[in-house]
Amino acid sequence: MKTRISADIIRRFEPLGEVFIDEPLARHTTFRTGGPADVMVIPSGVGELAELVRICTEHGLPRTVIGGGSNLLVGDRGIRGVTVCVSADSLGKSGLSIEGDSVLSSASLCKKEFVTACAGEGLAGMEFMAGIPGCMGGGIIMNAGTVDGNFADILNRIEYVNAAGEVKRLEVTPSMARYRRLDVEEGAVITAGWFRLRRADDPDALRQRIREILDERAKKHPLDYPSAGSVFKNPDGRFSWKLINDAGLKGRRVGGAMVSELHTNFIINAGGASSADVRGLIEIIREKVYTIYGVTLEPEVRLIGEF
């Protein structure tokens, strides 16, 4: 059931950024699926975000954060309460500043812009990010990465707003890094990160390497279709794509959702898929892989909202 949010509270949200009522989340996810957010706010700055969080806490309103929506499966019935969107047009400073080898990035900056700017300055160490969609905040909290590296490897410090609406800074230590997750206090909304990079010996070779990574990804990933990247984490010592492939699930469909023929750990929206289709396919894959191999696949994609 929709969360009742009074007109008075909506009026308090309005000076804090852009406010949308019943905003279709399919517009904000790379799967292009997902029902409406009761209320979505795109905060215009860190102070505004902190005030927004305080209001939500004060009134006991459920609060969900989204970034670029590239790792999300949002239920077809949408998200109750307040959805806080920290993506390209939020926080008023989609910027980054570079001082020597240290780079400060807003959580709202797209990874693509981060990679381009750092490569332009001849700074290396972030090449693994090339081709990973979404924003820096989503990358930080997901500890996004590839076999070549993860966010936590190059992250020194983060800034975030906690559940009480306070702006905090925290040094990042190796013990906080988990597989596709950074261990930060519950309810934290990441607003910025400080990254430690290094001068490339050969800036042209660095830029060439990034082009190669993008080319390799374009060959291996079904980028012509909406998706949320790899659906399942790799179980210890195994590859999810291989288990799914060997289970004979390549091309398997539920409604408009389909196991990609190019990369079997991707589910694509082959046309008109609902989130229920994707979730149905996820369940079929998990069941079949468990029955054949005794392995429980854990989703890497985050399922949020009501299905």
Ligand X SMILES: Cc1cc2nc3c(=O)[nH]c(=O)nc-3n(C[C@H](O)[C@H](O)[C@H](O)COP(=O)(O)OP(=O)(O)OC[C@H]3O[C@@H](n4cnc5c(N)ncnc54)[C@H](O)[C@@H]3O)c2cc1C
What token pair was written down for 5?
A: 């949010």
Task: Candidates 103, 118, 126, 144: give the one binding ligand X (CB under 6 A).
Answer: 144
Q: Sketch the per residue contact string, 146 through 185, with ligand X: x for CB under 6 A, - otherwise.
A: x---------------------------------------
Nearest CB to ligand X, comparing residues 35 and 67: 67
Of 43, 133, 256, 299, which lies in the binding site for ligand X, with binding defined by CB under 6 A? 133
Residue 81 within binding range of ligand X, rule CB under 6 A: no
Of 35-64, which residues contact ligand X (CB under 6 A)? Answer: none
| SS3 of residue 244 by DSSP | helix
Q: Is 300 a catalytic residue?
A: yes
90 is catalytic: no
CB of 124 to ligand X, least distance (A): 18
29 vs 40: CA distance, rounded Å? 14
Report 240-279 residues binding ligand X (CB under 6 A).
none
- The verdict on 34 binding ligand X (CB under 6 A) reads no
Q: Work out the number of other CB atoms within 10 angstroms of the CB of residue 110.
A: 18
What's the gap between Cα 135 and its chain centre?
7
Angle between helices 111-120 and 203-220 (to 10 degrees): 150
For 146, phi then psi, to 5°, come to -140, -175
Does residue 130 bind ligand X (CB under 6 A)?
no
Close Cβ partners of 8 (under 8 Å, ≥ 6 residues apart): none
Q: Of 180, 227, 260, 274, which is the active-site residue?
A: 180
Catalytic residue among 230, 240, 274, 275: 230
Closest CA to 70 of 286, 296, 266, 210: 266
Asked if 67 interacts with ligand X (CB under 6 A), we say: yes
- CB closer to ligand X, 269 vs 274: 269
CA distance 128 to 197: 12
Residue among 42, 50, 52, 65 that touches ligand X (CB under 6 A): 65
Angle CA 101–138–161, to nearest 5 = 85
Contacting positions for ligand X (CB under 6 A): 30, 65-72, 86, 107, 132-135, 137-139, 141-142, 144-146, 189-190, 221, 227-229, 302
